[in-house]
Structure 1
Amino acid sequence: MSDSKELPPTLRAWAEREIGRVGAVRDASYPREKTRVWELVRPDGCRFHLKIAPQPLMYERETFGLRHAAPALGAGRAPQLRASSAEHLALLTTAVPGSPVNELPLTPAEECEAHRQGGLLLARLHAAGELSRHRRTEAEQALHAAADGADKHLDQAGDRLTANERRLVRTLADQLRLVGPLPLAFIHGDAWPRNLLWSGARKAAWVDFGRSRFAPAVQEFVLLACGVWVDKPALRTACLRGYGRDLTPEEQHALKCLTALDAVSRLTWGQDNDDPHVTAHGRRTLDRLTAGAFA
């Protein structure tokens, strides 16, 4: 795939066969990400997004999620898949009204309501999708798979972690393997404020399903627990109120273990890709875990 911001003519022609003539095209990709996204606007004003996934797995996950699970969120609460092309790893979806909640000047009450609705939508998503035998097995093994990746992350981190931090991460990875059965769900997999939209009609929506999959439900909350919940605990309360339940003690412990693995991954990725924000994100989580502040 080319790094050009221009929409390839072959993809434009494909999209126009599906939705009709396109009047305007705007690059809507996020900086530093390999996924390419364009906003397509028809002459009648209807908006669509054309996305090229960076790898087949993300294409397959997003296609499955949009077809079989996202419709459970309700009209306007997630993109609708209009067409997909495995050849180009391309997805054509409707554009959802709203902007990312982290980019809006919301009042505390508005932000809490957005996250409450976000939690409600996650509950609907978690109940969607058919958990076949193969998918159930994969979901049940997800925590072990995450724990097995600890050594790889620690090797990549090298001397960026202290000896105490390395021991802590290994301990939490070992504990993650001992966690008993947890509730399984079809998770969004990338649930953080950038992917939670809030519209002028005071409606929330989730976008970007490229990491959606069957997994323990608690894995949904790792990014939130490492991010916005730290600075704004009221948003945790709001999200879980919308979700309909709090995390069980077993899920809460698993979440602590998962945040340690996420922190090491982000610390190394951020430094290797010259992204100080991601690096700081991972460092802060590690510091909190080391200080015993995670709860």
Structure 2
Amino acid sequence: MSEQHSVHELRRDMQTPIPAEIATWARGRVGNHLSWALPNDLSGARSWRMSSSEGIIELRVLRTHGDFQREVYAHRNAIPHLGAGRAPRLLGFEPRLRALLTLEPRGERVDDAPERGLHLMAPVHEQAGQLLRSLHDSAVRVGDRHAQAVRNTVLYIDYVDRLLDQIDSSILDGQRTVIRRRLDVVRERAPQLPSAFCHGSFGSSCWRWQRAQRTLVLTGFRRSQMMAASLDFARPSLLWADRPQLRAAFTRGYGRPFNQLEQRLLNDFAVVATVEDLRNAIRLQDSEAHAYVAVALRAAMNRLQIPDIALPTRLVGTEAPPR
């Protein structure tokens, strides 16, 4: 898709009106506000945002009832444990329409301007660890939480396994077999990993920094569910490889170091996460994200310390600034 066509598609998406029945329901909950559509996300959900005196309101219409139930559960049972103003606030939901409304927290994206270095600030990582631990511990009273976590983790690994055949990228040339061997290891060890109510896409892309208060808030809970806690360590670990002080800040905030198995599989989970991110960047035709993810995936695979998977030190067209 050319850049001109991409801009045209984005403008068309932004002009997509809210379906009448859903708009009527939303007005009844939050009043009448100027709205604009967001590009459809890869889950098939449709989203709009509205500007209000309280902040940005997001309206989401989920593709399936399962997706809807998972998001509502997260908002009602897990996200409140983070504290007031530290995450989106649920304003209303309607099962029949698979619709929910949230008030988004204020703050600047941590990954928006790498040159400002927000993503490399120790206080950001320490607070990220604190918030993640609160989220992870929110399901301690769920009776079958470990069984759920193992099942959902294996399903996610199976999903990434299928993605390997769908991704057309030179970064994976000759590496699919090796990655699948590592996926098998993660599947086998999943029952031994600590379980948690996971964010699902945890990383700097969902961190927002409130500069005046020096406070971190979280967004993007679309995939939150019981899984192995290691999944949420994967994307931040890409920033820790050469910056041990950031990892130390994170674990200080999290309240414990990684156990031996979590440490052993940390780079495996980083590879899993970056394979998924690579596929998403390609589908969204985001060249900047593709460049960053390609570099991150190459580095994560090299850190697996398996002789037959070392990748070239430089791939043409994949250099990107650290995030």
Q: TM-score range by the shorter chain?
A: 0.7 to 0.9
2: CA distance, partners of 1:110 / 1:263: 19
Tell me if the contact between 1:187 and 1:214 (Cα under 8 Å) persists in the aligned partners: yes
1:117 matched to 2:106? The reply is no
Q: Residue 67 of structure 1: CA displacement?
A: 0.4
Check 1:60–1:109 CA distance in 2 against 1; reply closer, same or farther (3 A cut). closer
Tell me if the contact between 1:27 and 1:38 (Cα under 8 Å) persists in the aligned partners: yes
1:169 matched to 2:213? The reply is no
2: CA distance, partners of 1:139 / 1:18: 34
Q: Which moved more, 1:98-107 or 1:243-252?
A: 98-107
Tell me if the contact between 1:72 and 1:125 (Cα under 8 Å) persists in the aligned partners: yes
1: CA distance, partners of 2:255 / 2:58: 34
Partner of 2:314: none
Partner SS for 1:215:
strand
Partner of 2:316: none
1:212 matched to 2:224? The reply is yes
Q: Residue 222 of structure 1: CA displacement?
A: 1.7
Q: Deviation digits for residues 217-254 of structure 1, max 9, x if unmatched?
A: 1111222224x445755433322221112211201222
Partner SS for 2:128:
helix
Moved over 4 A (4+): 30-35, 104-110, 230-233
Per the normalisation by structure 2, the TM-score is 0.76
Tell me if the contact between 1:150 and 1:170 (Cα under 8 Å) persists in the aligned partners: no
1:224 matched to 2:236? The reply is yes
2: CA distance, partners of 1:156 / 1:195: 26
1: CA distance, partners of 2:106 / 2:34: 17
Partner SS for 1:78:
coil
Partner of 1:84: 93
Q: Deviation digits for residues 119-171 of structure 1, max 9, x if unmatched?
A: 101111111135544543221234433443454233223674232x1232122
1:276 matched to 2:293? The reply is no
Q: Which moved more, 1:243-252 or 1:260-269?
A: 260-269
1:50 matched to 2:58? The reply is yes
Tell me if the contact between 2:119 and 2:204 (Cα under 8 Å) persists in the aligned partners: no
Q: Which moved more, 1:256-265 or 1:142-151?
A: 142-151
2: CA distance, partners of 1:243 / 1:17: 40
1:262 matched to 2:270? The reply is no
Across the two proteins, how many residue pairs are aligned to each other? 287
1:129 matched to 2:139? The reply is yes
Q: Residue 101 of structure 1: CA displacement?
A: 1.8
Which ranges of structure 1 fall in alignment gaps of 5 or more residues? Answer: none
Tell me if the contact between 2:108 and 2:208 (Cα under 8 Å) persists in the aligned partners: yes
Q: Deviation digits for residues 86-123 of structure 1, max 9, x if unmatched?
A: 23332112232222222367566993212211210111
Partner SS for 2:121:
helix
Check 1:243–1:86 CA distance in 2 against 1; reply closer, same or farther (3 A cut). same
1: CA distance, partners of 2:257 / 2:101: 36
2: CA distance, partners of 1:285 / 1:106: 20
Check 1:28–1:235 CA distance in 2 against 1; reply closer, same or farther (3 A cut). farther
Tell me if the contact between 1:61 and 1:209 (Cα under 8 Å) persists in the aligned partners: no
Backbone CA RMSD of aligned residues: 3.1
Q: Residue 30 of structure 1: CA displacement?
A: 6.1
Q: What's the % identity of the aligned pairs? A: 26
Q: Which moved more, 1:154-163 or 1:87-96?
A: 154-163
Check 1:281–1:230 CA distance in 2 against 1; reply closer, same or farther (3 A cut). farther
